[in-house]
Amino acid sequence: MEYVLKTEGLTKIYSKTRVVDNVDMLIRPGDIYGFVGKNGAGKTTFIRMLLGLARITNGKVSFFDGENIRRARKKTGSLVESPSFYPNMTAEENIRIFCRMIGEDEKQAKSVLEKVGLADTGRKKAGHFSLGMKQRLGLALALVGDPEFLILDEPINGLDPTGIAEIRKLILSLKNEQGKTLLISSHLISELEKIATRYGIIAKGRLVEEITADELDQKCGNKTSLRTSDADRTVEILKKLFDSDKIEKSADGIVYISEKIEDIGRITNELYNNNITVKTISSTDNTIESYFIERMEGG
């Protein structure tokens, strides 16, 4: 299979406002695609169009190399915005009734609840669940029928740190052990960072950047910049101290070291011993979060 999801020029206009603007997205099998954007950037509207919950103004959506859309949606589990369920029913009853409605085997109810840690909720009605338990029930509904593709909109909302870790583990096992593909939208970039293999950044309805986790790692991280009396010789000396591809020199003569520096004194001493004067030295911490924020603002 070449792709799990492909959108071409996907657009949504609500009363003359382009909420989603010409988005082309490609998600390949096995991806955990982190979908990042500010509130109101168009993430949820985009997801709602994928799932047939919102009408598409323009553009095209196709799943699984162009499979029939209704069949494809049967193989796509989702959790959109807040979890939805019948509050007067137990977790198991909710799963069973959902299975009945979409034509799945009701026997899977227990195993699905076990996966999300809700197996022992007994006769407690879902309406009386805590926020975290409701979120888990929403995830359980998404997992019904063992879907190949999962679209999760803010899946860790309301979970405590233990819950977040458990859901992270579940997501990773879905990808690594079962080969599932996931599209996850989240505000919690630090959490996405731990699981995503690719990212899409949406700002004001436009997909401003798609980047792999490896590319992102290269672009982010600690950076130390030096302005010295002799930039070229500084580069030569630093290349002996660090991995050579981590040393760069800008056109205006600033030397950059793309690595976390534990001992600044070692650099300054080495340069001093080589009769090079350090004029300025500064360290910037370009985290993934700040990278995303910059892109989201700049959209």
Partner 1 sequence: MGGLIRADLKKLFKSKSLYVCMVIAAILGVSMSLLYNYFWQERGQNIALWYALMDQYNMKTDVLDEALRQIPSQNLLSYINIFFSDGALWLIGSPCICAYCAAEFNSGTYKNTVSRGVSKTKLFFSKVIVSVIEMFMLSFVYVLAGTLAAVSHVDFETDLEAGRIVFLGVIYFLLIIASASVFVMLTILFRRSGFAVAAAIAAPMLIASLIQIASMANPELSELTGYVLMNTYVTVFTSVNDGGGLKELFTAIGYTAVSLLTGGIVFRKSEIR
Q: Which of 40, 102, 114, 284: binder of partner 1 (CB under 8 A)? A: 102
Site for partner 1 in 129-148 (CB under 8 A): 141, 145
Is residue 86 a contact point for partner 1 (CB under 8 A)? yes
Query: Is residue 158 a contact partner of residue 138, using CB atoms and an 8 Å limit?
Result: no
Quick one: 23 exposed, middle or buried, by C-beta within 10 A (0-12, 13-18, 19+)? buried
Part of the chain binding partner 1 (CB under 8 A), chosen from 3-11, 46-54, 234-242, 286-294: 46-54
What minimum distance in Å lies between the beta carbon of 37 and partner 1?
Answer: 20
**Hey, what are 208's tokens?**
């401003």
State the Cα–Cα distance between residues 294 and 107, nearest whole angstrom. Answer: 48
Q: Which is nearer to partner 1, 81 or 243 (CB)?
A: 81
Residue from 1, 40, 66, 100 binding partner 1 (CB under 8 A): 100
267 φ, ψ to 5°?
-70, -50
Does the protein bind partner 1 through residue 98 (CB under 8 A)? yes
The minimum distance between CB 264 and partner 1, in angstroms, equals 54
Contacts of 231-237 with C-beta under 8 Å, sequence gap 24+, read 231/255, 233/274, 233/276, 234/271, 234/276, 237/270, 237/271, 237/274, 237/276
Q: Which residues contact 102 (CB under 8 A, 6 or more apart)?
A: 74, 144, 145
Beta carbon nearer to partner 1, 67 or 248: 67
Question: Taking phi first (over 0 means left), then psi (-120 to 50 degrees means alpha), and beta for anything else, what does residue 200 get?
Answer: beta
Which residue from 1, 40, 71, 243 is in contact with partner 1, where contact means CB under 8 A?
71
* 170 near partner 1, judged by CB under 8 A: no
Does 88 interact with partner 1 (rule: CB under 8 A)? yes
Q: Which stretch binds partner 1 (CB under 8 A): 1-9, 85-93, 116-124, 216-224?
A: 85-93
Q: Identify whether the C-beta of residue 77 lies closer than 8 Å to the C-beta of residue 112.
A: no
Q: Which of 9, 40, 66, 87 binds partner 1 (CB under 8 A)?
A: 87
Which residues lie below 8 Å from residue 107, measured CB to CB, with a gap of 6+?
A: none
Considering beta carbons, is residue 157 or 234 the nearer one to partner 1? 157
Residue 213: CB minimum distance to partner 1, A: 27
Give the phi and the psi of residue 26 in degrees, each rounded to 5: -135, 120
Q: How far is CA 122 from CA 83, 92, 100, 108, 188, in A?
A: 19, 8, 20, 16, 32
Query: Rule CB under 8 A: is residue 258 a binding residue for partner 1?
Result: no
Return the residue of 28, 74, 227, 246 that touches partner 1, per CB under 8 A: 74
Identity of the residue, 53 or 264, whose beta carbon is nearer to partner 1 in the bound complex:
53
Q: Provide the 3-class DSSP secondary structure of residue 58.
A: strand
Among 29, 30, 51, 278, interactor with partner 1 by CB under 8 A: 51
**Should residue 66 be labelled a site residue for partner 1 when binding is judged by CB under 8 A?**
no
Phi first, then psi: give them for residue 15, nearest 5 degrees.
40, 65
Q: Which residues bind partner 1 (CB under 8 A)?
A: 48, 51-55, 69-74, 76-78, 80-82, 84-89, 93, 97-98, 100-103, 141, 145
